[in-house]
Amino acid sequence: MPSVGVVMSTLQIGLAIAGGVVLAAVVAHGAWTSRKMVPRQAVPEETTQVPSNAGIEPSMDPESFAADDFPLPPPEKKAGMDALIDVIAPVALEGPVSGEAALAAMPATRRAGSKPFAVEGLNGRTRQWETLAPGQRYAGFQAGVQLANRSGALNQIEYSEFVAKAQEFCDAVNGTPDFPDMLEEVARARELDQFASEHDAQLGFTLRASSAAWSPGYVQQHAARLGFVPGVLPGRMVLPSSLAAMPPVLTLAFDTQAALAEDPAQAAIREVSLALDVAQVDRGEQPFVRLREAATALALAMDGVITDDNGQLLPRDAMDVIGSELESLYDTLEQRDLAAGSALARRLFS
């Protein structure tokens, strides 16, 4: 029969071993938890040869889409005034006016209230309406103000401000304006604004982290692989249009504070938004297809889920419905001569 001392010694050893196991488990769990709390980081990528088409804006996945999948819209001339969305007042002249004199006569601010104000000149040589420029001579002018934008419809106060600015210009160039009836134009503005309000779509998906948060560099690295480039503002990236000087196809945004953190590697991001401003992007860019593909690719690569603004999961069939409704919207805008991505649509929906 073992002595009491031997029993106690064995018991103490057993307790020490058990305690050590528990301590090791606690330490391991703490390390695992700490590791989970650290935002996912970007990883160094191998240097690859610059492709021959480096000047072309990339699509979502070069292996999945051929160039013909996204037909490019034709180049567009600078937007001019159009009776569809502008009040236009013709200005008769006693004689030709130089571009320099016309520019000097322009008001200091080019807005009437919240609506853009503009003057175009009839070039005496080309007989074409154009934006005022030095070195030209103009045989006539037309002053205009936009009927509606995302700030609302042109109202009587804004119309009166338009008349005052246009009259000041006319006085300076010895011109005689012919202003349309205010009440008729204001009524037309309300009708256009009503149409625009009913057909203004800005789609957004939210990508939420399923487990570990993401660092800014991690998000930027994965987005860059899909063709996104840094935007002007911190925490913003854009998928460029296939045409120069056009609005981006998509925007990606995350917390600005995380983007500006002193140590970005420790900044935790748990959600990223992807957005499409429908009226600003040409239908030929297939922006919704690319929005959907980008969201799906990022969710898969970054271990996230796709939701709406309210946090509800967006399954495939819900996205199908959105895509179908969007096609109907495109058709309606085209029937109104306000095709998505056109100069008029970009002005109206701004």
Per-residue pLDDT tens digits for 251-270: 999 999 999 999 988 899 99
Give the rounded distance of the alpha carbon of 151 from its chain centre.
18
Three-state secondary structure readout of 41-102: CCCCCCCCCCCCCCCCCCCCCCCCCCHHHCCCCCCCCCCCCCCCCEEEEEEEECCCEEHHHH
Average pLDDT, the chain: 86
Task: Determine if the pTM surpasses 0.75.
Answer: yes
Q: Which CATH number fits domain 201-348: 3.30.1400.10, 3.40.50.300, 2.40.160.60, 3.40.50.1010?
A: 3.30.1400.10
CATH architecture of 86-197: 2-Layer Sandwich (3.30)
Does the pLDDT of residue 234 top 60, yes or no?
yes
Angle between helices 316-335 and 287-302 (to 10 degrees): 160
Q: Is the pLDDT of residue 16 over 90?
A: no
Taking the CB of residue 306, how many other CB atoms lie within 10 A of it? 20
**Domain chopping of the chain, boundaries:** 86-197, 201-348
What mean pLDDT comes out for the span 112-132?
97
Cα-trace Rg, the chain: 30
The tokens of 91 are what? Answer: 């200005």
CA distances from 285 to 72, 119, 165, 191, 330 (A): 7, 32, 39, 29, 12
pLDDT at residue number 76: 46
List, for residues 159-182, the tens digit of each pLDDT value.
999 999 999 999 999 999 999 999
Comparing C-alpha atoms, which of 98, 150, 101 is closest to residue 124? 98
27: pLDDT strictly greater than 70: no
- Whether the pLDDT of residue 224 is over 90: the answer is yes
d(CA 236, CA 255): 9
Name the percent of the chain lying above pLDDT 70. 80
Considering only residues 282 and 39, tell me which one the structure prediction assigns the higher pLDDT.
282
Q: Identical fold at 86-197 and 201-348? A: yes
The confidence score (pLDDT) of residue 42 equals 81
